[in-house]
Structure 1
Amino acid sequence: MGGRHVSKRKSVVLIIMDGLGDRPSAKLHNKTPMESAYMPNLNRMARNSICGLMHPFREGVVCGSDTSHLSILGYDPEKYYTGRGPFEALGLGMKVEPGDIAFRANYATRDGKIITDRRAGRIDKSTEQLSKDISFKIDDVTIQVASGVEHRAALLMKGQGLSDKVRDTDPHEVGREYNEPEFIEEEGRKTSYILKNYMKRMRSILDSHPFNLDLISKGKLPANELLIRGAGSAPKLEPFEKKYGMKAGYVIGIPMIKGLAEMIGMEKIAVDGITGSTNTNYMGKIKAVAEGVDNYEFILVNIKATDVAAHDKNPLLKKEVMERIDEAMEPLLGLRDRALFILTGDHSTSSVNGEHTGDPVPIMFYGDGLNKRESEAFNEKSCSKTGFSLRGLNVMDYALQLTDRLEKYGA
């Protein structure tokens, strides 16, 4: 895909609102949060854009944020995906090397063997000391834990003969026992053995840890369990700049997507107050984009708040989040001559049942000089009426051709 630097072209800004799409909610008079939200800026952009629907991977596939981001960035998940753990670990500053096995992790609340809260009450203070105290060596394997936002964490195993062929300990719902990290295939036997021994010692430490005793004394839920899932080894991804010929930066709050961005060589654009939750610095993110379009040829932005609200089954909060995002978008209205803005989601998350769905998500290509397929509003229903749709794996190709970067296919 070389030969693209013949002249100054527009920058490309990809803004992914995590869990953007939704389904109608009785709490919103049978409308989706996007349909209910007051979004003058996004709707104005939609009326001057190419709008439609995007299937993050294939039609009907229920994607996670990891596989959908890979897909939208043009890295086929079926070829490159090895599990979410490595991205989560990289995003938390851990050094993931060949042979290492990484897991996504949650601090959770356990009563006996029963998981009573998978997020330990959404811890509102740092768990760094907990993570430090449950990082130790079992036999010849070093196990490191790093803390993320709220209850989130990552676990990294370093040693010989490790494998990602082990079962999650996370039961993925409350009221059930945690799972044992049994091996799925024979090559995972050693990893399973190490993890079982680690879990026993880890639980003993957490049960008596001053951090948790303090929480209990205040009537709060203790973080006395570390649930792990998404085992994976480090994938080999072609650097973004080599793949597309564009210098890239990122504005991201959540560790997993930050890890992916760094894995493919994107540069961090620092913004104060980005949290990966609903209290993030929306204005700061978009201001950084407006200031960065002349310094970067590509900028990736992730806004996690929409997904957080939906997972909490709170359509009213998701509507409010969309309105905050819309307010932040105002600086972009006057930049359509300098950049192509792509606004979409990585998947749809239902605020009715709190789960990801396989529904397509709205997508908008906003810039000047486009053959517009405008939508009256930026929401699921209005964008479906344009008749335009594409798959996540084609988003980058579409952006490249709109900015005159894509080479001709054929003679």
Structure 2
Amino acid sequence: MKYMILHADGMADHPREELGGRTPLQAASTPHLDRLAQGGELGLLAATPESVRQGSGLMGTAILGYDPKKYYQGPGPLEAASLGVAVGEHDVVYRCTMVTLRSDAQSGGKGGLNEIKKLGPHVVMDDATAGLISTEEARELIEAVNEQLGSEMIQFYPGLGHRHLMVWVNGKSRAVCTDPQLLAGRPITDALPTGDGSDILWKLMDASFQILRDHPLNDERLDAGQKPANCLWLWGQGRAVLWPSLSERLKMSGVVVSQSDVHRGLGIMAGLEAVDGARLAGVDLRTQAAVALEELKTKDFAYVHVELPDEVIYGLDVPAKVKSIEAVDRELVGPLLEGLAQLGSYRIVAVCDWGNAPHGQAAEGPAFFAYRDSAAVLAAGAGRRFTEADARASTVPPRDATKFVVRLFAKGS
């Protein structure tokens, strides 16, 4: 028996006017995901308690069987695990996102990128991805910041694209920080860090702005019509905590297959092997499916995480999201189901959540799932689809996300 969790991150969405009131999933052609919904169990996953901090990796923590209230400390420590950054028991890892800030034309500024003197009033979050800056360019900038601001207490580490890390040795973890995506197009004044340690964070962010604003690479980006990465935004912090091994708990071998550092780190924290990021960097969906199936030849379980491209998640092109969902179904889900059948009997659960809601939207609605046991004979749900609406209409009661991995491996489930 082979086991798989397929985590489709960020595909759930609001009904869209451009799609006649349908969600992108409803508008997309997804025959393979629909086959799971029709031939298995479809329903909602119980919502995460409001008391739990939100962020990337939260749903993955739950569906791998870990109580987020105890084990989810924010995305920072998960990314550190993926990148191999050594973190002490009392150290705090912050997500360090490269962003583009500009002056607020409506508050007296001219709306330019070069008019800001320091962080504060009249400054707007122009782009929370710094124009989807490349990893190579970002590495040069993060190294420049670390050269000037790094110390025995503070270190900056390069990641991928606009996503990076800062480790604060024996640092403060209780400051209130804001996901920059929630600020897109909005003033940053009321979203700058507050609380314990916020004065240090504020100074570091402002100092990074002074360094990056005048960096030659940003001058080149401006000349090329690209947005400058002119500030490091600190958020998503947490301390690294020890997770009990999922492999030991369930007595199985497992692997995580993901291009996301957060979700690779999540798998590593859970005691799974992680496919080398270099092996997946820039590969297409069919290759990711092939890698997962190759790993399953020698392992019992695979946690396969996929998210839509950044330009789709953070863009405004709704039809592009529909096409991306169709590509996931056609080039990842289809080959996975075909390959699993060739490996013998299997159980698979496909989970879809809201991911990181772009452009200041709040994620709405619970995650949902489709569960299929190839050995079980189930009444087919004719016409049922893998969509938000069909999951809500299911007669199956909401399932506790943290219990699902145990059910996946349970005998006779």
TM bracket (short chain): 0.7 to 0.9
Q: CA deviation at 1:371?
A: 4.9
Which residue number corresponds to residue 105 of structure 2? none
Q: Give the superposition deviation at 1:233.
A: 0.9
Task: Give yes or no for contact 1:342–1:366 (8 Å, CA) kept in 2.
Answer: yes
Residue 331 (structure 1) aligned with residue 322 (structure 2): no
Deviations 1:343-366 (A, max 9, x none): 112446768x66342412331112
Q: Is the 8 A contact 2:132 2:310 kept in 1?
A: no
The structure 2 residue matched to 1:117, chosen from 118, 127, 149, is: 127
TM-score, normalised with respect to structure 1: 0.83
- Alignment check: 8 A CA contact 1:250 1:266 kept: yes
Residue identity matched to 1:246: M
Give, in whole Å, the separation in 2 of the partners of 1:316 and 1:61: 33
CA distance in 2, matches of 1:200, 1:306: 30
The 8 Å contact of residues 306 and 318 in structure 1, kept in 2 or not, is answered as: no
Give the aligned partner of residue 3 of structure 1.
none
> Per-residue deviation at 1:303?
0.7
Structure 1 325/273 Cα, relative in aligned 2: closer, same or farther at 3 Å?
farther
After TM superposition, give the deviation of residue 76 of structure 1 in Å. Answer: 0.6
Offset of residue 392 of structure 1: 1.1
Aligned to 1:85: 76
1:296-355 Cα distance to aligned partner (Å, 9 max, x none): 11211111117863443433222111111111222333424432111112446768x663
The question of whether the paired residues in 1 share the 8 Å contact of 2:296 and 2:302 is answered with: yes
Residue of 242, 248, 265 corresponding to 1:242: 248
Residues 89-126 of structure 1: CA deviation (Å, up to 9, x unaligned): 32333222211111112111123131322221111352
1:161-211: CA deviation from partner (whole Å, max 9, x where unpaired) = x221224376641331357975624xx4xxx45444434442232122121
Matched, 1:168 2:177: yes
Specify the alignment match of 1:341 in structure 2: 348
Aligned residue identity for 2:319? L
Structure 2 unaligned spans of 5+: 103-115
Alpha carbons of 1:372 and 1:270: their partners in 2 closer, same or farther (altered >3 Å)? farther
Contact kept in structure 1, 2:44 and 2:368, CA below 8 Å: yes
1:222 CA displacement: 1.0
Question: How does 1:16-31 map onto structure 2 within 5 Å?
Answer: 16-31=7-22
Which has the larger displacement, 54-63 or 31-40? Answer: 54-63
* 1:299 and 2:302 are equivalent in the alignment: yes
Code of the residue aligned with 1:250 in structure 2: it is: V
Q: Which residue of structure 2 aligns with residue 381 of structure 1?
A: 389
**Does the 8 Å contact 1:84/1:232 carry over to 2?**
yes
Structure 2: which amino acid aligns with 1:71? Answer: A
Determine the C-alpha separation between the residues in 1 that align with 2:100 and 2:260. Answer: 22
Show CA shifts across 1:47-85 (max 9, x none): 222222223535999953322211111111112222222
Alpha-carbon distance, 1:265 to partner:
2.1
- Tell me the distance in 2 between the aligned counterparts of 1:62 and 1:31: 30
- What is the letter of the counterpart of residue 394 of structure 1? K
Give the Cα–Cα distance (whole angstroms) in 2 for the partners of residues 141 and 293 of structure 1. 43
3-state DSSP of counterpart to 2:266? helix
**Whole-angstrom distance in 2 between the partners of 1:177 and 1:59:** 24
Structure 2 residue 102 is the aligned partner of structure 1 residue 108? no
Q: Is the 8 A contact 2:346 2:375 kept in 1?
A: no
Is the 8 Å Cα contact of residues 176 and 194 (structure 2) preserved in structure 1?
Answer: yes
Secondary structure of 1:288's counterpart equals helix
Listed as ranges, the matches of 1:223-372 within 5 Å are 223-270=229-276, 274=280, 281-305=284-308, 309-328=312-331, 329-334=333-338, 335-336=340-341, 337-347=344-354, 355-372=361-378
**CA distance in structure 1 between the partners assigned to 2:393 and 2:202 by the alignment:** 53
Partner in structure 2 of residue 40 of structure 1: 31
CA distance in 2, matches of 1:384, 1:374: 17
Query: What is the rounded CA distance, in whole Å, between the counterparts of 1:141 and 1:60 in structure 2?
Result: 34
Change (3 A) 1:350 1:34: farther
Contact 1:169 1:179 in 2 (8 A): no
- Cα 1:378–1:206 change in 2 (3 A) is same
Q: What is the percent sequence identity of the aligned residues?
A: 24
TM-score, length basis structure 2: 0.82
Q: Which string of whole-angstrom CA distances, capped at 9 and with x for unpartnered residues, describes residues 383-404 of structure 1?
A: 3443113121121122122x55
Q: 1:11 deviation in Å?
A: 2.2
Cα distance, 1:272–1:321 mapped onto 2, change above 3 Å? farther
What does residue 4 of structure 2 align with?
A: 13
- SS of equivalent residue, structure 1 residue 372: coil
Which runs of 5 or more residues in structure 1 are unaligned? 1-9, 407-411
Q: Which moved more, 1:138-147 or 1:260-269?
A: 138-147
Contact 1:50–1:366 (CA<8 Å) still a contact in 2? Answer: yes
- 241-250 or 132-141, larger mean C-alpha shift: 132-141
Match of 1:392 in 2: 401
* Separation in 2, partners of 1:175, 1:195: 20
Amino acid at match of 1:203: F
- For the structure 1 residues 25 and 373, does the alpha-carbon distance in structure 2 shift closer, same or farther, using more than 3 Å as the test? farther
Aligned to 1:208: 214
Aligned residues: 384
CA RMSD of aligned residues (A): 3.0
Query: Secondary structure of the residue that 1:390 maps to in structure 2?
Result: coil
